[in-house]
Amino acid sequence: MVNTTAFAPVNNRRHGLTLTEVLATIFILAVGMLSILILFPVGAMKVKAALNNERTALAASNGISNLAILAKAKAWDPVTTVSYTHLTL
Protein backbone atom coordinates (compact mmCIF):
# COMPACT_ATOMS: atom_id res chain seq x y z
CA MET A 1 0.00 0.00 0.00
CA VAL A 2 1.36 3.38 -1.05
CA ASN A 3 1.01 6.44 1.17
CA THR A 4 -0.59 9.05 -1.11
CA THR A 5 -0.64 11.83 1.49
CA ALA A 6 3.14 12.07 1.41
CA PHE A 7 3.04 13.21 -2.22
CA ALA A 8 0.09 15.60 -1.92
CA PRO A 9 1.00 19.30 -2.21
CA VAL A 10 0.72 21.24 1.03
CA ASN A 11 -1.64 24.14 0.34
CA ASN A 12 -2.91 25.13 3.77
CA ARG A 13 -1.89 28.77 3.57
CA ARG A 14 -4.50 31.53 3.49
CA HIS A 15 -4.02 34.09 0.77
CA GLY A 16 -6.92 36.43 1.48
CA LEU A 17 -9.67 37.52 3.81
CA THR A 18 -13.06 36.00 4.22
CA LEU A 19 -16.24 37.96 3.71
CA THR A 20 -17.02 37.70 7.42
CA GLU A 21 -13.71 39.31 8.34
CA VAL A 22 -14.26 42.15 5.86
CA LEU A 23 -17.81 42.79 7.12
CA ALA A 24 -16.68 42.75 10.76
CA THR A 25 -13.93 45.26 9.96
CA ILE A 26 -16.35 47.56 8.12
CA PHE A 27 -18.79 47.38 11.04
CA ILE A 28 -16.11 48.24 13.61
CA LEU A 29 -14.84 51.15 11.52
CA ALA A 30 -18.39 52.45 10.98
CA VAL A 31 -19.14 52.41 14.70
CA GLY A 32 -15.90 54.25 15.45
CA MET A 33 -16.47 56.88 12.79
CA LEU A 34 -20.06 57.48 13.90
CA SER A 35 -19.00 57.94 17.50
CA ILE A 36 -16.43 60.53 16.44
CA LEU A 37 -18.95 62.35 14.24
CA ILE A 38 -21.42 62.51 17.13
CA LEU A 39 -18.84 64.34 19.25
CA PHE A 40 -18.44 67.29 16.84
CA PRO A 41 -21.83 68.96 17.46
CA VAL A 42 -21.47 68.42 21.21
CA GLY A 43 -18.08 70.11 21.14
CA ALA A 44 -19.44 73.02 19.10
CA MET A 45 -22.25 73.54 21.62
CA LYS A 46 -19.75 73.51 24.50
CA VAL A 47 -17.55 76.09 22.75
CA LYS A 48 -20.57 78.33 22.14
CA ALA A 49 -21.62 78.08 25.80
CA ALA A 50 -18.08 78.84 26.97
CA LEU A 51 -17.88 81.94 24.76
CA ASN A 52 -21.27 83.12 26.03
CA ASN A 53 -20.17 82.65 29.64
CA GLU A 54 -16.92 84.50 28.98
CA ARG A 55 -18.70 87.46 27.38
CA THR A 56 -21.22 87.61 30.22
CA ALA A 57 -18.47 87.62 32.85
CA LEU A 58 -16.55 90.30 30.95
CA ALA A 59 -19.64 92.51 30.65
CA ALA A 60 -20.39 92.13 34.36
CA SER A 61 -16.79 92.91 35.26
CA ASN A 62 -16.82 96.02 33.10
CA GLY A 63 -20.09 97.19 34.64
CA ILE A 64 -18.79 96.70 38.17
CA SER A 65 -15.57 98.52 37.29
CA ASN A 66 -17.53 101.45 35.85
CA LEU A 67 -19.64 101.68 39.01
CA ALA A 68 -16.54 101.53 41.20
CA ILE A 69 -14.89 104.32 39.22
CA LEU A 70 -18.01 106.47 39.45
CA ALA A 71 -18.32 105.80 43.17
CA LYS A 72 -14.69 106.82 43.76
CA ALA A 73 -15.22 110.01 41.79
CA LYS A 74 -18.37 110.64 43.84
CA ALA A 75 -20.28 111.04 40.61
CA TRP A 76 -22.69 108.29 41.55
CA ASP A 77 -24.38 107.70 44.86
CA PRO A 78 -26.39 104.49 44.85
CA VAL A 79 -28.67 105.71 47.65
CA THR A 80 -29.79 109.09 46.32
CA THR A 81 -29.40 108.64 42.57
CA VAL A 82 -32.46 107.32 40.78
CA SER A 83 -31.56 108.27 37.23
CA TYR A 84 -28.83 106.42 35.38
CA THR A 85 -28.78 108.70 32.33
CA HIS A 86 -25.32 110.10 33.14
CA LEU A 87 -23.70 106.65 32.86
CA THR A 88 -21.99 105.98 29.56
CA LEU A 89 -20.57 102.76 28.32
Distance CA 43, CA 27 (A): 25
Residue among 87, 61, 65 at smallest CA distance from 76? 87
pTM here is 0.47
Write the DSSP symbol of residue 54: H
How high is the pLDDT of residue 34?
Answer: 94
Question: Can you list the residues of the chain whose pLDDT is less than 70?
Answer: 1-12, 14, 74-89
Residues 6 or more apart whose Cβ sits within 8 Å of residue 70? 76, 87
pLDDT of residue 71: 76
Radius of gyration of the chain (CA): 37
